[in-house]
Structures are given as C-alpha cells and as structure tokens.
Amino acid sequence: MLEWIVSSTILTALVILLRYALRGRIGLRFQYGLWLLVLVRLLVPVNFGTSPISAASGIEQVQRAGAMWVYRSSDANGTPEVTVSGWMRPSLQPAEVASGPMPHFTFQPPNTPNGWDASTVWLVGIAGMALWFLGTNLRFVRRLRRSRKPLRVPNCPLPVYETAAVETPCLFGLLPPAVYVTPEVSADEKTLRYAVAHEMTHYRHKDHIWSILRCVALALHWYNPLVWWAALLSRRDGELACDEATVARLGEEERAAYGRTLIALSCRKPARLLVTATTMTGGGFKERIRLLAKRPKTTAGIALVTAVLMVGAVGCTFTGAEPENAPEEPADVEVEHEPTTIEDGRSPELAAALEQFTSPDVLLALQRSEQGVSSLYDGSACPNWKTYAAQLASYRYEPAVMDVASSAVVWLYPASETGTYRMRVCDDAEYVELMLEDGTIQQFQATNTNSELLVGDLVRMWFDEVEFYDQLADGATLYNQGRDEIAAAQAFCRILEEAHQSVADDSHYYYEFVRCVAETAEEETKQLRKEGTLGETEWAVSVSTVFVPGNVDAREMALAAGAVPYKGGDPAFPTGAYETTRWVRITQTADGWHGELAAAGW
C-alpha cells in the first residue's frame, strides 16, 4: 500500500506541475486528457511489471537506509547488547549479523500499536467518505425530482428538465443522464441552446462517468491534499475542454456569443466537488474566458516533450522495483566449508551448540524476508521443547555449502551471556548455518535416516508450538472467584480460538475458522483425581473443536493428531471443516481460575 500511496502522489504532483507549466501552450482537450493517467493510478493499487526507475525502488532504499536489523549499544556496565525489533526489514545475508564479538542478546518483540492501526484508520476514512458521497448525491436527486419540469428541446437526445434546485445548467445521472437548467436559462432561447450544447459535450466526453470515478478516487485517498487539489483542477480542465469542443461544434462565429453566455452565468455557484453533476460554471471563470479567447494549440514539439515526460512518469509510478541480485558474500567474513570433523561430520562448535539446545537457554525468532523478525519466544515455553532439542541433536550433520532461498527463517539464539552461537534454519530445507563468536560461519547439511522430517521443518514446528503456547499463556488467568469450572473452560475456549487465529498465517497451528465448545467430564475428573493426576481444585474438561486449517501444514498436523472431517451438519460451519476433541485442565487457585491444554496421554 505504501508504494501505491507514494507512486500515486508522485504522479499527481508531476501532472499538477506539468499542467501549470504548459497552461496556454497545449490544447485544452489534451490538457484534460493528462488527468486520465492520474485517475488510473489512484484507482488501481497494483504495479505493472518492474522498472529500474520505479518509485518503489526508492522506497526500498529509504527503508533499508533507515532500518538495520541489528543495533549495538552498551548498558550501564558496558556490556554490549543487541536489540532486535520486529518492525525492521533485514537482509537474509548472515554477514550482517555475524560480525563483531558475541554480545549478550536482549530481544524486544514487536508490540501492536495501541488503538487503531493505519489501515483501520484508512478504511474508516473510506467508509466515511463513501457515506458522505452517497448522502450528498441522494439529497441532490431528491431535490431534483421534487422540483423538475420536463422541457422540450429540439434535437437533444437526452431528457431536459427545468428546475430551481440547481444554480447553473448541469448534466446529472448515469443511466441515462439528464440535462437540468434553471428557469432563467430556459427563458432565453440562445442561452438555453448554448447550455444544452455545453452539457451534450460533457455527455460525449463521458464526464458524468469521470465525475463518479473522481469521487471514488477521493474516497480512497481522502487523506491526501494533493488528490483533492488534483480533483479540483481536473474538473476545471474538464470545463475548459468542454468549452473548446462546444465552440468547435457550434462554429467559430458563435465563439463570442458563447463567451458572453459564460460571463452572464459567472455569478452562479458550481456544484460541490462530491456531487457528480457536470456544471457550466465549474470554477476558474477568468481562466476559461482567457483561454476561450486565446484558442491554445498543441505544437508537435510540445506534444513530443509532454509524451516523453509522461512515459517517464508512468515508468516511475506504475511499476514495481526490480528484484535485486543476491549480494556477494563480504570478503571479511570467513566461511568454513570444511570444518574440523568429529563423529558424523559435526564441528566441535556445532556439537557444543546442539548440546546447549538441550537446556532452557535458547530463544527462537521467526524472520521473513519482507517483514523482518516478526516475533521471538523462549524456546522452552512449550511442552515438547526437550523432544525437539533431542531430535535436532539426533540428525547427522555434514559440511556443505548452504544454497537455499526461503521466505521464512527460524533463528536460534543464546538467552544468556554464556552462549557462543547463532544458528539459522530455513523452512523446507535440510541446511543449517552456524555463526560463531568471532564471526566465522559454518554450514551443514542435516539428514536423519530415522525420519523424513527436514531439519527446517523440525525447527519450524518447534517455533510454531512455542508461539501457540505463548498465545495461550496470555489468557492463563480466566476469572477471579465466583464462576464454575465450565464457565472457566468456555472462557478458555475463546482464548484457544484466538490463539489459533493469532499465530503466523503459515504456522502449523493457524486456523482460518475455529469454534470450541467445552463439556463436563465428571467421570474422567474423578478417575484422574483418584490416580493423583488432578488435585481437588482441578477439573478435566472435554473441548470439541470444529476448525478449517489455514494452510497445508496445519491440516497435516491436525490429521496426524486424530482430526476427522466434520459431519455434524451445522450450516454455520464452513465446508471443508474438521473436528477433534482435546482435554483441558481447569484449575482454581487463590488468584482465580486458570486453564491449560492437557498433556498427551490423558
């Protein structure tokens, strides 16, 4: 959206400048036609191909210049720190984070701004403008229909009405439009003829359609003063073009009389900008009279220069940035493709890093090439973290050149000052990259003869589970006192639903639709209490879940966990839904009710 805003603003400004620079030097219809490019750019938010001169390239350069992924600073004790912000847009090149001594890492995951974000404000503004636009035109329609009287005008294919509800003759409507004139205009035969001829020219130019599209552009870009200025100028240029074409149709001998008619109507107010009527007094009266007398023409030289400028403007504002070639690896970063091997090809450093994964001392961060580090979590904040760490250590690692492109990368970091590694693993890949304290990079290919799961998929599943359980932890306390376990379980169901829809949209836990219902499980609760699994203030609750997986990985994980196609027949649930049952532990403590998903094996 930012590219659309910037490119449309640039094109609008260029056409405004060109309009004033060439005023009186080009034909009025040619001048009016320049606004068509602006209208298309304002209404179409997509780019057409790529270009080296695209405004989008400039936007990317500004973003990269103003946003570095890693910031180095020192705390009060002089300990170097690195803060990773989710609003940054980093490169995927490891050299940008591999240089310098290994600092202590302090991570700051991105926070959602309080209140409305920019897109919400934009949509609310569009809705407000649309209501204003519709209300203004509906009121105008009602006034016209209450007061209009049919008027017979020979040789006019459109209906003509006399009404006191308009200040000036105008063309209004869509299928089909009609010409409206004031009683004063209808009383004078010559003025009526010129007014109808003027509005018929608007009709042939399709200005009644362009006026609607102009209002749509204003609704979409309500926040941009340049667009409002352009709307006023384009409407004025539409009147200039209409004057030129009307005189050409009436004949040169009528030019002076037509000009006198404009002078006679000069005291009348034009319709408001959001009313889609084309009026005979559309502003810029002095300019209209002057240009009507001057009769500007477009010379071949000016037409050529204008065409070249507009082609350049289109190439700059209608195209996206060209994809960059992968940057070469910096010369000062040493890449070891043949590290000292032990056992199955692991270097001593990799063996130490994998060993450190088995302690709760690792942080997981998800990085996207377009969004930067979107979130970061404690690697031990999920029930199966030890299993993931053990499986990661069970792979066979061999030195290899890491040649893989991915839109998502999981980084693994030490959570304390004693950590001496940084590792990245790409989605759907069998490669890992280890960065050491001195900036050295080691690359490995990881295989597992006991599993078809790629190492990238394993680490991504680890991150997804940590992210999902972090969302659940946000709602750990359900109520204070005064509710029963079923009410608390239903509250937990809402938290569970929100967690599935708040994780990354390519997460194994992402559901685009989910509904959870809690049911009592008294017999199970008694049995588990008898076994000592549950305490006296703990309850087992069965949660039935109907959901639609948001991606292939989420679907496969759900099926592996026992989900089956939904056959309940409730029309409120979308087609293609699945259903499953999960157990929830509800606990009552001194500070209120708590809920958590029960471990497997209940």
Among 30-34, 69-73, 367-371, the least confident range: 69-73
Give the up-direction half-sphere exposure of residue 46: CA atoms within 13 A in the CB hemisphere. Answer: 2
Backbone dihedral angles phi then psi of residue 179, each to the nearest 5 degrees: -95, 130
Three-class DSSP category at 472: helix
196-219: pLDDT as tens digits: 898 899 998 888 888 889 889 999
Q: Is the dihedral of CA 542, 543, 546, 548 positive or negative?
A: negative
Alpha-carbon distance of 119 to 1, in angstroms, equals 9
CA angle 465, 466, 472 (to 5 degrees): 90
pLDDT value at 425 more than 90:
no
Reference 213, options 35, 419, 1; nearest CA is: 35
| The one-letter amino acid at 48 | F
Range of 11-20, 54-63, 420-429 with top mean pLDDT? 11-20
pLDDT value at 338 more than 50:
no
CATH fold of the domain at 334-466: Dna Ligase; domain 1 (3.30.1490)
508-565: pLDDT as tens digits: 999 999 999 999 889 989 998 998 888 999 999 999 999 999 999 999 989 988 899 9
257-275: pLDDT as tens digits: 888 887 777 655 656 777 7
pLDDT value at 158 more than 60:
yes
Alpha-carbon distance of 222 to 128, in angstroms, equals 10
**Domain positions in the chain:** 118-298, 334-466, 475-597
Residue 74, pLDDT score: 36
pLDDT band at 374 (very low <50, low <70, confident <90, very high): low
How much of the chain is in helix, strand and coil states, percent to nearest 5? 45, 20, 35
Among 186-190, 225-229, 292-296, 385-389, the least confident range: 292-296
Residue 549, pLDDT score: 94
Q: Is the pTM of this model over 0.85?
A: no
35-51: pLDDT as tens digits: 888 888 888 888 777 76
| The one-letter amino acid at 235 | R
Mean pLDDT across 570-596: 88
312-329: pLDDT as tens digits: 877 787 776 665 443 343
Q: Are 364 and 370 in contact (CB under 8 A)?
A: no
Alpha-carbon distance of 227 to 214, in angstroms, equals 10
Residue 283, pLDDT score: 56
Residue 77, pLDDT score: 44
pLDDT value at 292 more than 70:
no
- Which position has the higher pLDDT, 334 or 195? 195
- Which position has the higher pLDDT, 267 or 98? 267
Q: Are 364 and 415 in contact (CB under 8 A)?
A: no
Percent of the chain with pLDDT over 70: 76
Residue 340, pLDDT score: 39
Alpha-carbon distance of 587 to 537, in angstroms, equals 6
pLDDT band at 348 (very low <50, low <70, confident <90, very high): confident
What contacts 193, CB < 8 A, 6 or more positions away? none
Task: Dump strand ranges (E) for 521-577.
Answer: 538-549, 564-565
Q: Which two tokens stand for residue 585?
A: 């532990």
CA angle 453, 459, 464 (to 5 degrees): 110
Mean pLDDT score of the chain: 77
Residue 42, pLDDT score: 87
300-317 vs 35-43: helix crossing angle, rounded to 10: 10
For residue 254, give the DSSP letter. G
